[in-house]
Structure 1
């Protein structure tokens, strides 16, 4: 005999019932809005992503170009390949960023709405963290192969054109699968899973900042902000997340790099520490902060406005 629910508490759900409730909160508008934000920010800021990855893998190999800084790297690439060189690897980056942001917002909002319905109250910081981490893990399972191809394409250097293996995103996907199997497409997956903590911390901070700001204004927690306020919240939450979790990006980029071979995460960490010390885990962080902070602001502003438009047009 099933126990009767106490007054005011939600009735216990079966697994099937829980899944039905969860999927009832899925909204394509969040997917479209997140995808739009990811694509726009990637198109604007891809060259800085290229610079970040090239610095992240700069481990002293002779085949790698040597750069004295962000501007020197961008000038060198521009002189060698022009605008096309600065946008090397942009196709998988657009696919990856669009899919990642779209799926992230898609899963995150569904999980958050489901928990909120069950709780019947505002979610805590820990619940926002859990929702974002779950959404991040689900997204990474679907998008990791795209990020591997992006890294490989970005790390094709012009110093030896004969060694350029990949002609584009599809060619890279096919060749990685043919020569390295599924494992090749999921290189960097473990540090990528750790990287979901980056998104989780960012979304937790973003939600808490919005809630506290609206509380300060004596407004409801879901009250819409203006673009400048969204930019401020997004920038602060992104800087917090980057400062906390950046080393995993270096480890992931090195695992995905086709010019060096590592036996796993521990091997990357051991060799990076031995050869480059603590600073080795923070290579490329400056161009990354310069790139991801405006990228995050663009993404969140586009997302908030597109989702608001799509969700409100039926009302």
Structure 2
């Protein structure tokens, strides 16, 4: 699915003729234009930092969720919606602070354009070295604010919606099928797919503007060292 993620990032900063960037009509046209000009390999620019950041994020959030669930299970208490919200918000904030430099590198690699930079990045190491040399280490945390807002709200909405929808469905199943609580076969794979998709859509609809702002803010400065935007 990474090529779609790559195209999404391009759409988020695409201003067409205003900045001498290619104008994409739709997703298919964007993929065709990029592959025609740069080849299929270009659709996977920034793949390694993206996988690394996603893995760290998912691992930490899942670990925190399981730890808190075990804690409350040992105390024979159930996590309330407010606790789900707080847990996801806490995880989102810490993940955003830890992974912001990785997402910045990924964004820079995805948005490379010869018209906007004197020398293209040759890889992850070259990207980090160039940013540190030309912009300083603080550039790795460019526009951390919208990233924090996105991660905190996105994770909070997604996991709260997921847990509450799962609880509602399981209660409904228990009433209709009269199965005991805790039965492992209450939900099937399709149910979990619907739960995951629904909660993700809800989170994306609310937090997508933050993502656009963050992506635009993380663009490489012009050749004169002037940032694209002064603030969020």
Alignment map for 1:295-314 (pairs within 5 Å): none
Q: Note if contact 2:46-2:110 (Cα within 8 Å) is conserved in structure 1.
A: yes
Relative to structure 1, is the Cα distance of residues 56 and 109 closer, same or farther in structure 2, using a 3 angstrom cutoff? same
> TM-score w.r.t. structure 1 length?
0.65
Q: Note if contact 2:12-2:212 (Cα within 8 Å) is conserved in structure 1.
A: yes
Cα offset, 1:174, TM superposition? 2.3
Q: Tell me the residue number matched to 1:242.
A: 204
Q: Tell me the residue number matched to 2:168.
A: 212
CA displacement 1:171-200 (0-9 Å, x = unmatched): 212222232223211113111110121111
Q: Tell me the residue number matched to 1:284.
A: none
Q: Tell me the residue number matched to 1:187.
A: 142
SS of the residue aligned with 1:163?
coil
Q: Hey, what's the Cα distance between the residues in 2 that align with 1:103 and 1:162?
A: 35
Q: Tell me the residue number matched to 1:109.
A: 66
Tell me whether 1:95 sits opposite 2:52 in the alignment.
yes
Q: Tell me the residue number matched to 1:21.
A: none
Q: Tell me the residue number matched to 2:213.
A: 251
Of 46, 65, 75, the match for 2:32: 75
Q: Note if contact 2:9-2:215 (Cα within 8 Å) is conserved in structure 1.
A: yes
Q: Hey, what's the Cα distance between the residues in 2 that align with 1:89 and 1:177?
A: 18
Cα offset, 1:98, TM superposition? 1.4
Q: Structure 1 unaligned segments of length 5 or more: list them.
A: 1-44, 266-315
Of 163, 172, 177, the match for 2:118: 163
Tell me whether 1:65 sits opposite 2:22 in the alignment.
yes
Q: Tell me the residue number matched to 2:228.
A: 261
Cα offset, 1:162, TM superposition? 7.1
Q: Hey, what's the Cα distance between the residues in 1 that align with 2:198 and 2:48?
A: 29
Q: Hey, what's the Cα distance between the residues in 1 that align with 2:58 and 2:8?
A: 20
Equivalences, count: 219
Q: Hey, what's the Cα distance between the residues in 1 that align with 2:84 and 2:160?
A: 5
Q: Tell me the residue number matched to 1:54.
A: 10
SS of the residue aligned with 1:231?
helix
Q: Which has the higher contact order (CA 8 A, sep 6+)?
A: 1
Cα offset, 1:165, TM superposition? 2.9
Q: Hey, what's the Cα distance between the residues in 2 that align with 1:102 and 1:217?
A: 30
> TM-score w.r.t. structure 2 length?
0.86
Q: Over the residues paired in the alignment, what is the CA RMSD in angstroms?
A: 2.1
Q: Tell me the residue number matched to 1:233.
A: 195
Cα offset, 1:112, TM superposition? 4.1
Q: Tell me the residue number matched to 1:135.
A: 91
Relative to structure 1, is the Cα distance of residues 164 and 53 closer, same or farther in structure 2, using a 3 angstrom cutoff? farther
SS of the residue aligned with 2:135?
helix
